[in-house]
Structure 1
Amino acid sequence: MTVCAIEPPSASGAVGVPEAGCVITADGSYAARLAPAGDCWFAERWTLDGPEPYAVPLPGNQPEEPGTGVQPMGDGRVLVHRPSASRHLFSLLYPTGPGTGELPLGAVECPEPGTRLVLLPPAPGGARAYALASGPRSSSVWLVAGGASGPERVAEVPGRCSGGVWLDGTGRLLALDRELGGRTKTVTVDLERAVVSPLLQIADDSDDRLVLADPDSGLLLISSDAPSPGQERLGWGVLGSTLPVRFPECLRLPDCVVTPFAIQPGQVLTPENCAVGLRLDGAFGTWVGTWRPAERRVRHLPAPEGWLAGAGVWTPEGVLRLPYATRATPCGVSHLTAAAARGNAGAAEPGRTGGEAEPARPGGETEPARPGGETEWGRTGGVPEPGRTGGAASARPAAPSEPRPPAPPGSEAPAPSATWTPAPSVARSAGSAPARPVPLQQAPLGRLVTN
């Protein structure tokens, strides 16, 4: 399973026009988006787990506003979030004969000025849906679909929160990026017990956010300005590992915005082999990148025409599925295999699962291999077990593999250590020799207990 944080459709450069994109369930079975109909918009559900993808339009009694949020449920219904002043209305849409059925769920009131309410990424299992209301001083997690009766507030978090990444396969542990005291750190919210625990703190004066997480492998994608004050960088760590968070040089692309959107699931105990899908925005436009921690390079691949940018899901077998919509193909999925990404292969044609071509940047420029180093910061640790309010999770050894020689240390000086709170930090002096990376297969992974 891939846990992915995807923002709901929002206004783009043109006023009143939502960004192209869609939201996919945690298991990749369904997707939902706002589809255009002339100057109007309506909810549309995509079925992705069949032989061929197909779309089901779900127009309501009136067109949707551009700010309407949509999210697919595990049973094929689509949750819609309609903001109206300080009220946020929620309903479930479903096909019924030639029309669209609608089940109103209720509303959430946000009277405090400056409060923003958005849908959180689809929860594992697809039976429930959550929303995050972020106010100036505190934030609330709401169960808006799948509850007993109407929206229900399930947790309160001091500080202004954003993001949202699921840490387990049951939809119980949620990671949020909390801004408190002028700094942003990631915390874990146990939705069953309404307990908030610190999760990620790389340095006292850094802003640290969790971007993606995969419970199968423990791979975490992190954004932090710790290695480069004032500049956000992408790094990776392993849930429960004693190794430091690493910030690969290959993820620093000049004049490009790099946004991870999907991690390959099913790679138990081998996080370094997980393929990561990247959305790359730069002077050439928007294209796709693939990266693995073990490779230390980014493969640049043209995006399929009409890609719903930032949307996609990996299969356990290593196929990256990218939804796209064009005038000729209003509902399509392009396939890119992980094996092709590792070798000399390019983007597959829509509907195919391969294609032999040299990976290239848009415009035809081939991306050479870059052996760049990694900046290390501190250690990684586990999330608290349900029923505890702190403490690292217990560890287990990773599967043995053939030893590999350690990579040469990066050119940047070692920095203060990172910790997964409440694990103690490990300080390094500025004059000490850089630590040599340890092969990731030797790192213990934290055990995530959810029963």
Structure 2
Amino acid sequence: MTACAIEPTTEDGERDPEEGGRHTGEGERGAEEDPDRTAAAPLVITADGAYAARLARRGDCWFPERWTLDGPEPYAVPLPGHQPEEPGTQVQPMADGQVLVHRRAAGRHTFTLLYPTGPGTGEHPLGAIDHRDAGTDAGTDPGGDAGLRLLPPAPCGTRAYALLVGRRSTALWLVAGGAFGPERVAEVPGRCSGGVWLDRAGRMLALDRETGGRTKAVVVDLGRGGEVSPLLQITADSDDRLLLADPDSGLLLIGSDAPSPGEPRLGWGVLGSTLPVRFPESLRLPGGALTPFAIQPGQVLLPESCAVALRVDGPCGSWVGMWRPADRRLRQRAAPEGWLPGAGLWTADGELRLPYATPAVPCGVARVPAPDPVPRPGPESRSGLASPGCPGPADDRIHGASGAPAEPCAPRPVPLQQAPLARLVTN
């Protein structure tokens, strides 16, 4: 495991080379005296794996925190604003190291870029969205919840998008990277959720759209003014969601209740392929939940060889699962102490990196080698577990290791399947 502390900076906001990775006095005191300082909070990672950001807590105060992951050692920089943040504040890292902050106050959504300025935090306001100017019925839910949510970081790293959900439609907003502040770029009929990028140019965005009581994944083409086309329709009566996608290989992770009505199942397919969607038994865990959060990049045209990392939730908490379509087997591993559940990334050479935070280690990254492939023939296995029991000693194989940071992948064109992806096939 690699650990680090709150990072001291120079007056221009860069890392102080003389300080190296040492704790500052304030960082040490915060970790020792305030266990809430490292309370688990969602960590958002850029598409290239260089930066991450989360809303951290010290005592009763919340503040944005940026993690740098592409250096010899990871380190964190606190970015407190002029006043403490609300617990619901959303943060997102940008490719240049700035952190986008979304705040809500007095019926407005405001967006600001934060960056370190030595002892303080610089702020660059980007503008705001007023509910009355949101367009159509977006943001006018009778319950008063505007429903604005930042989408996962765009692959380009220079733009950020958000969904503003209304009663009958959903507005897609460009909230960072535009020329004149927040800009509404598309209006999608129905109530949308999710958000998965299908290409590395940040043009094709998959959303889960609810209409007529059913949820189906659709594609929004931002290069054609927000043109919407279907992506998933396994059966007419099923809820079909896209959970994760890898642009290099085209591997898709899909959630659907088509195989077992009323029971969501995890399946996989290939973007642009006519091969069927499959729902392997190795991804079925009675009494537990599996949520994919990272796919190994760089496996061009080899979707079945891609390693997938999953969050496993069961009676003992959360731990890590690793799976490949070709292996037909779910490997389960204990998570590092303080893991920020659902956060992590694969390197192209097959190393899984899991960020964690504890009172003693304000920011750290555990490195987990991908499991060796197993022969494909034979029945599928869940590592001998018929239910979500806790990972045993044999499964606790998270290793500490040093290594080079993940390299960003070069953009690769992937054909888009405009029609419904495939018919239903269960394994």
TM range (shorter): 0.7 to 0.9
Aligned-pair CA distance for 1:110: 2.7
CA contact (8 A) 1:289 1:298 kept: yes
Deviation at 1:345, TM superposition (A): 7.0
Question: Hey, what's the Cα distance between the residues in 2 that align with 1:35 and 1:342?
Answer: 40
2:151 maps to which of 117, 120, 125: 120
**Which residue does 1:408 correspond to in 2?**
none
1:263-289 deviations in whole A, cap 9, x for unaligned?
000001110010000001111111000
Distance 1:53 1:59, change over 3 A: same
Aligned to 2:304: 272
Question: Deviations along 1:184-212, whole A, 9 cap, x unmatched?
Answer: 00110011222111111100011000000
Equivalent residue in structure 1 for 2:178, among 138, 147, 169 = 147
Q: Deviations over 1:80-110 (max 9, x none)?
A: 0112253111000000121000011111123
Is the 8 Å Cα contact of residues 320 and 338 (structure 1) preserved in structure 2?
Answer: yes
1:34 to 30, 55, 74: 55
Select which of 232, 235, 242 maps to 1:200: 232
Distance 2:289 2:402 in 1: 28
Q: Which amino acid aligns with 1:122?
A: P
Equivalent residue runs for 1:106-255 within 5 Å: 106-111=127-132, 112-113=140-141, 114-193=145-224, 194-255=226-287
Contact 2:52/2:92 (CA < 8 Å) preserved in 1? Answer: yes
* Superposition CA RMSD, Å: 2.2
Deviation at residue 164 of structure 1 after TM alignment? 0.1
TM-score by length of 1: 0.74
Alignment of 1:352-371 (within 5 A): none
Q: Quote the residue 1:383 is aligned against.
A: 416
User: Residues 307 and 350 of structure 2 are in contact (CA less than 8 Å); yes or no, is this contact kept in structure 1?
Assistant: yes
Amino acid aligned to 2:227: V
Task: Say if 2:310 is the partner of 1:289.
Answer: no
Structure 1 partner of 2:114 = 93
The 2-side partners of 1:139 and 1:165 are apart by: 16
Equivalent of 2:104 in 62, 76, 83 = 83
Equivalent residues of 2:39, 2:56 under 8 A apart: no
Aligned to 2:365: 333
Deviation per CA, 1:349-407, whole angstroms, max 9, x where unpaired?
A: 44557xxxxxxxxxxxxxxxxxxxxxxxxxxx9625xxxxxx55xxxxxxxxxxxxxxx
> How far, CA to CA, are the matches of 1:327 and 1:154 in structure 2?
42
1:342 Cα shift? 6.4
Secondary structure, in 3 states, of the residue corresponding to 1:272?
Answer: helix
Select 1:348's aligned residue among 398, 406, 414: 398
Matched with 1:412 is none
Deviation of residue 34 (structure 1)? Answer: 0.8
Task: Give structure 2 stretches of 5+ with no counterpart.
Answer: 1-37, 133-139, 376-393, 404-413
The DSSP-based 3-state class of the residue aligned with 2:287 is coil
Contact 1:304 1:350 in 2 (8 A): no
CA contact (8 A) 1:160 1:179 kept: yes
Aligned to 1:317: 349
Q: Relative contact order, CA 8 A, sep 6+: which one is greater? A: 2
Structure 1 residues 82 and 59, CA gap change in structure 2 (3 angstroms): same
Structure 2 counterpart of 1:59, from 64, 80, 87: 80
Rounded to whole Å, the distance in 1 between the matches of 2:247 and 2:259 is 26
State yes or no: 1:305 paired with 2:331: no
Change in 2 beyond 3 A, CA 1:59/1:351: farther
Q: CA deviation at 1:20?
A: 2.4
Quick one: distance in 1 between partners of 2:74 and 2:364? 6
Query: What is the Cα deviation at residue 338 of structure 1?
Result: 1.1
Deviations 1:296-315 (A, max 9, x none): 11111000000011100001
Q: What letter is aligned with 1:347? A: R
The residue that corresponds to 2:41 in the other structure is 20
Alpha-carbon separation, structure 2, partners of 1:329 and 1:342: 35
- Between the aligned partners of 1:345 and 1:255, the Cα distance in structure 2 is 19
> One-letter code of the match for 2:222?
L
TM-score by length of 2: 0.78
Moved more, 154-163 or 85-94: 85-94
- Choose from 125, 138, 162 the match for 1:104: 125
- How far, CA to CA, are the matches of 1:59 and 1:302 in structure 2? 33
Cα displacement string for residues 314-364 of structure 1 (whole angstroms, at most 9, x for unaligned residues)? 0101010100011111111000011468698743244557xxxxxxxxxxx
Please report how far the alpha carbon of residue 240 of structure 1 lies from its aligned counterpart in structure 2 after TM superposition: 1.5
2:115 & 2:196 partners in 1: Cα distance? 27
Contact 1:303 1:347 in 2 (8 A): no
